[in-house]
Amino acid sequence: MDFTFTEEQSLMADSLRKAYESDYDFDKRRAFLDDTATFHSPAMWQTLAENGFVGLLAPEEAGGFNGGGAEIMAVTAEMSRHLALEPFLATSVMGVRLLVTAGTNAQKSNILPQVVAGEANLAVALYEPGQRYDVAPQTTTTKLDGDDFVLNGTKAVVVGGDSARWIAIGAKLEDVGSALFLVDAGADGVSKKTYRLVDGRGAADLELSDVRVGANARMAADDAETALAEIEDWAVTASLAETLGAMEMARDLTHEYLQTREQFGRPIGKFQVLQHNMADVFSDVEFARSMVFWAASEVANPDAPTRRHAVSGAKAFVDNAARNIAERCIQMHGGVGVTDEYALTHYVKRLTLGQILFGDRDEHLLRYTNTNA
C-alpha cells in the first residue's frame, strides 16, 4: 500500500494549512471557545465553503469535488492540527455522504447546493440514549397521519447538531422496518439541547415530540440501520484522521519541549529515559498513520463486512496508540502539559474524545472479530 498523498491531495492540505494559519491562530480559537452564541467560526466555515472543502464528498455536478477516503484523511488531519471547531465532520463527511447515497433526487437538488455553498449545515443523528453504539432506531418511531409522517423519540450526542439546518433521523416504522427522514431542525416539536464536546466542538441532544414532516422528507434508503452504519464508518475514518493530526502535533510539541526545557544544565531531551519515551511516541504515530490509511482505502468499499473490518481494526489500534501518546506527552511535559493556556492540553482533549466518539476500543475490537477481511 502506498502511504503517500497524491500531489492534488497534498495541495489540498497545504491550502487548508495556509487558511488556518492566516485566520485561525491558537488565541483566536480560545476566543471562539468562550463564545456561547456559536461553537465555531462562521467566517472560517465560509472560507472552507468558498475553497471547496465543504463539498469534498459531493458530486461535481453539485459543485463538489467528488472525493473519497484519501481526501477526507488529508483534509481532516490538517484541520485537527489546527484544532478546528468547524462542523466539517458532521456536515461535509456524515451529512453530505448520507445525502449523496441515500437522498432523493429532490433532496439532493434542493439541499446539496446550499450545503456546498456553506449556507446550510447538516447533521446525522446516529444514536439514542441507552443504546450505546447501536445505530438502529429503537425508541424513535414514526407513523403515517394522512400524507405526513409524525416522529417521536430522542437522539443523543448528535455531532454538529448545534448548528445544523437539517438533521437526518432514523425511526422505526409503524408496521415493520425503519426509515430515514431529513428533518428541519427548526420544525415544531424539535427540541435541542446544545453543548460542547470535550474538545470544544458543538453537539446536541434531540427530543422529537409529534414532529410532522411531509412525505418528501423521507430519504431513499431501504432501511435506516444499513444507511447509518455506512455513515458511521465514514465518521470513524474521519475521526481517525483527526486523531492522527492531533497525535502529530502532540509529538512535535513534546519533542520541541524536550529540546528547550533544561534541567541540571542541559536539555531534558538528553536524558535517556525521556529519549525512550519519545521513541515510543514516534513509533506509535507512524504505526497509527498506516492504520488510518488502511481505513481510508476501504471506507468506500461497497462490501460492508470488508469495509467495517478495516475501519474497526484501525479504530481499535489507533485508540490504543492515542491513549499511550497522550499519557506519555503529558508525563514528559509535567504540570505545564495540563494547563489551558498551553496547546498540548487541547490536543489531548481531542485525542481523548476520539477514543470514545463513534465507538470505543472494546466496541470496535468486537466488530473487527465479527467481520471477515
CATH architecture of 7-121: Orthogonal Bundle (1.10)
Beta partners for 194? 204
Closest by Cα among 259, 260, 363, 236 to 310: 236
Separation of alpha carbons 285 and 75, rounded Å: 18
Please give, one letter per residue, the 3-state secondary structure of the chain. Answer: CCCCCCHHHHHHHHHHHHHHHHHCCHHHHHHHHCCCCCCCCHHHHHHHHHCCCCCCCCCHHHCCCCCCHHHHHHHHHHHHHCCCCCCHHHHHHHHHHHHHHHCCHHHHHHHHHHHHCCCCCEEEECECCCCCCCCCCCCCEEEEECCEEEEEEEEEEEECCCCCCEEEEEEECCCCCEEEEEEECCCCCEEEEEEECCCCCEEEEEEEEEEEEEHHHECCCCCHHHHHHHHHHHHHHHHHHHHHHHHHHHHHHHHHHHHHCEECCEEHHHCHHHHHHHHHHHHHHHHHHHHHHHHHHHCCCCCHHHHHHHHHHHHHHHHHHHHHHHHHHHHHHHHHHHCCCCHHHHHHHHHHHHCCCCCCHHHHHHHHHCCCC
Q: How much is the mean pLDDT over the chain?
A: 94
- Where are the chain's structural domains? 7-121, 123-222, 225-369
Beta partners for 180? 170
**Domain 225-369: homologous superfamily in CATH:** Butyryl-CoA Dehydrogenase, subunit A, domain 3 (1.20.140.10)
The answer on pLDDT for 270 being more than 80 is no
Lowest mean pLDDT among 36-45, 171-180, 316-325: 36-45
User: What class, spelled out in words, does domain 123-222 have in CATH?
Assistant: mainly beta
The answer on pLDDT for 1 being more than 70 is no
> 366 pLDDT band (50/70/90 cuts)?
very high
Task: State percent of the chain over pLDDT 90.
Answer: 81
What pLDDT sits at residue 276? 93
Backbone phi and psi for residue 205, each to the nearest 5 degrees, phi listed first:
-100, 140
- The pTM for the full model equals 0.95
Task: State percent of the chain over pLDDT 70.
Answer: 99
What pLDDT sits at residue 110? 94
Separation of alpha carbons 124 and 230, rounded Å: 12
8 A C-beta contact, residue 25 and residue 17: no
Domains 7-121 and 123-222 share a fold: no
Characterize 159-198 residue by residue with b for buried, 16 or more Cβ atoms within 10 angstroms of its Cβ, and e for exposed: bbbbbbbbbbbbbbbeeeebbbbbbebeeeebebeeeebe
8 A C-beta contact, residue 365 and residue 287: no
Instruction: State the average pLDDT over residues 89-113.
Output: 96
pLDDT digits (tens, 9 = 90+) for 25-38: 888 888 888 877 78
Separation of alpha carbons 304 and 218, rounded Å: 23
What pLDDT sits at residue 30? 85
Residue count of the chain, please give it: 373
Q: Which residues does 102 contact at the CB level (< 8 Å), separation at least 6?
A: 180, 219, 220, 221, 227
pLDDT digits (tens, 9 = 90+) for 280-309: 999 999 999 999 999 999 999 999 999 999
Q: Which three cell numbers stand for residue 117?
A: 455553498
Q: Which residues does 111 contact at the CB level (< 8 Å), separation at least 6?
A: 99, 103, 120, 122, 166, 182
8 A C-beta contact, residue 199 and residue 353: yes
What pLDDT sits at residue 373? 61
The answer on pLDDT for 3 being more than 70 is no
Closest by Cα among 175, 176, 185 to 155: 185
Lowest mean pLDDT among 16-25, 206-215, 288-297: 16-25
